[in-house]
Structure 1
């Protein structure tokens, strides 16, 4: 059967990076099992198990990378024994005959499956955290570049007080910084299940060491060291607690929400023709409407972000229904949801790297929209200026109220431009401030401390958060497959 006749997930075949796909590949999974077995043997030998020979360990070390042929052999073996781990134990034993009798000594299946999963989760975080760092870095440069550019603020998607393009970007960046914090915590909290035995009591290992509890504890600690982990979970059932999966996926779901919010804002700004995502020279926006520049990257982000949020519910539900020391109804869903969550997060961040590398800003469009709304916002400034010239606030308020409603009718009922300032200039009452109107309408006087807030935020908060990741920050362009 051709590969074109089989379904393959778009997460790996269409979108995700090679480095993330490799982590959750079959070869990496089964090769990691072998690394676990050899380090278990090393730790057992170091702690006094004399039946494990140096030659057995060396044979295993020479064959850590599983071959295509061995994967196929294990697949055939599994069809017979109906057990994936034991199928690989048998195949590894054939490849390493001197070690066949001690592979998996004292262990249960979850020794390899669960410890491997925890390794994959940590490795996956090591792929996506640097990508998030670079998204934050690029948005920060964007924020500084446009920290002084006034733009219309929106509340309820209705015109509100002015802000700046850069200040708006800091709102996106701050949420991404929180995502970085959450990911760091989750990544660093991941431990190993360790060497715990069938139901977590370490009974098989206690027997192996003839009742020596200290040796069993030394084995657990040494094994974790050999695998590059600082700690093992102190108690487990047959599996590590599936609550760990909640802690691991929660930051990813939260990242999805941040990505969705950012991408939605860019989609709305694209409709307003103020800011657009990159649009390639030969890109086609629509098969029918040749003029269109659809925000396809941001739409992809929103789509996948919703998927990522849904996967978090898998972890919640699975953790809540585990009976006693374990049930097997966690297995199938975790094979799907854990890789999918990280593949999806990886795709989101790769797409955001592409978007944030080439955001296009249209200052003239932004200025025109400001000019259409600013006269209404300036009414309070006009009133204050008239009061300083000796006018009555109440009288001025009534004059400007009447003119504002007239100008609003022109905009809403006639489809015309906002002519409030022209009306003010034509009204004798406002003659004392006619020569001040241009300064009263200067957009830069309506943005408060937006530039200063932006500069301080990037210089302090962003710089502090990214400081440990200096070697990962780059300016390379990120192209998308499709």
Structure 2
């Protein structure tokens, strides 16, 4: 019962993928700290410090913590009131040959900040690969429905026709922008490296007897061992918290995209034109048994709002870091960074689930078009009549009178739009009555929508998903192996 007696965030217990939840777990955090201590000791030995091989061997053999070591670390933290030093001591109990050199020359942020940068990098990789799969799934939907006419909406009022597939490309185009943002955020990430307590590397300069080149080589080597391409050229006690703000900006923008898609799908569900998947035994309402609520899309919107708001935490934290650092960033970042990635992960996976099971109702779409198309076709009718020798102004007046009468039937009496029936009964339109069916063909009102879908998928989506990482993500369903 203990597991049910303590609050757990639904982000990890209910929604997020195992991979993302594990990335921000204590087990991953503390094993990453141990890797970072191993990288530091390895580089220091390579550069001439007297660190025995046995020390490195014991450290490498004990990267993962056992349950007993978590207990030891908890007792040490309670006594020392310092989480990093508690884990330095705990690591030394299983790597006694290294106990005297673990964390040599480093400050706490060597492990905490560098680990966070690793988590940001791997978290972005998870999001990128999941997003690639979502885009691929929605692209298949767009291709399938590229020529299916549907009523367009501006201001959520009936507008010119588009197609179901063309509408989906609007979602995909925004997702492509998010993919570029996430890729750019990942490629921009550097490493804090070995910078010391206020970023001056004074402790390492002392270790290497004033040899500046060795200090620079140490910084470069730990960065290389951690798998980063570069180290930030300058740092305070921490890496700049603007890095967090920039990363979460990309995630917040993804949240805005997801909210727009989720909202569109909720509106389409109300129109009964397109619905998210609904299992045979799923219950839409505890009271109204007939309901089919768009609960997945609602979840997307709900969590997307949270994702957008979390960016404000990162901005505020970056703004209030006095001089070389203040600790008021710590508690906030412990919450905001994991939650942003867990939330982004859930939003993408939920949208993917929706995209893979979208249900389109062509007959409902056709009926709605039939209610509005006669009004939209009036200009075509006027032009056809003029081509047949009619008078444009007389045609316009006749159409105006019939349109207002038909609109009254729809709005006042709740009847079907009978504009075309009225035109068929009016002898004035005899010269073009044999053209009415072709003039009212919905496919003649969608412009280049099908061609736009084809060109967009070919020229934009395919290149964006062409690299090796994207293709591996699609083949593997978005699952990835973490670098740590």
CA contact (8 A) 2:139 2:172 kept: yes
8 Å Cα contact 1:357-1:477 kept in structure 2: no
Aligned CA distance change for structure 1 residues 442 and 477 (closer, same or farther; 3 Å): farther
Q: Is the partner of 1:230 in helix, strand or coil?
A: coil
Question: What is residue 122 of structure 2 aligned with on the other side?
Answer: 123
2:384 equivalent to 1:385:
yes
Any idea what the Cα deviations from partners look like across 1:144-169, whole Å, max 9, x if unmatched? 10000000000000000000000000
The alpha carbon displacement at 1:474 in A equals: 3.9
Query: RMSD across aligned C-alpha pairs, in angstroms?
Result: 1.1
Which aligned pairs between 1:266-277 and structure 2 lie closer than 5 A? 266-277=265-276
Partner of 1:17: 17
> 2:452 corresponds to which residue?
453
Q: 1:214 is matched with which residue?
A: 213
The C-alpha deviation readout for 1:348-389, integer Å capped at 9, x for no partner, is 111111100010000000000000000000000000001001
Output the CA distance in 1 between the equivalents of 2:373 and 2:321.
Answer: 59
For 1:363 and 1:474, the matched residues in 2 are separated by: 31
Residue 243 of structure 2 is aligned to residue 238 of structure 1? no
Corresponding residue number in structure 2 for 1:102: 101
**Which residue matches 1:36?**
36
Question: In structure 2, what is the equivalent of residue 323 of structure 1?
Answer: 322
Give the Å deviation of 1:390: 1.0
Match for residue 27 of structure 1? Answer: 27
- Number of aligned positions between the proteins: 477
- Where do 5+ consecutive residues of structure 2 fail to align? 480-484
Question: For 1:234-282, what per-residue CA distance to the aligned partner results, in whole angstroms no more than 9, with x for missing partners?
Answer: 1000000000001111111000110010010010000000000000111
Q: What's the counterpart of residue 482 of structure 2? A: none
Does the C-alpha gap of structure 1 residues 58 and 282 become closer, same or farther in structure 2, counting only changes over 3 Å?
same
* Counterparts of 2:141 and 2:18, CA distance in 1: 28
- Corresponding position of 2:79: 80
Kept in 2: contact 1:196–1:202 (CA 8 A): yes
Report what 2:147 is aligned to: 148
The reply on whether 1:296 has 2:295 as its aligned counterpart is yes
Report how far residue 477 of structure 1 moved: 11
2:471 pairs with 1:470: yes
For residue 369 of structure 2, give the secondary structure of its aligned residue in structure 1: helix
Q: Report if aligned partners of 1:144, 1:454 keep a CA contact under 8 Å in 2.
A: yes
Unaligned runs of at least 5 residues, structure 1: none
- Is the Cα contact below 8 Å between 1:385 and 1:433 reproduced in 2? yes
TM-score (norm 1): 0.98
- TM-score, normalising length: structure 2: 0.97
CA contact (8 A) 2:129 2:478 kept: no
Distance 2:424 2:126 in 1: 61
- Give the equivalent residue in structure 2 for 1:63: 62
CA distance in 2 between partners of 1:476 and 1:28 (Å): 23
Contact 1:354–1:477 under 8 Å retained in 2? no
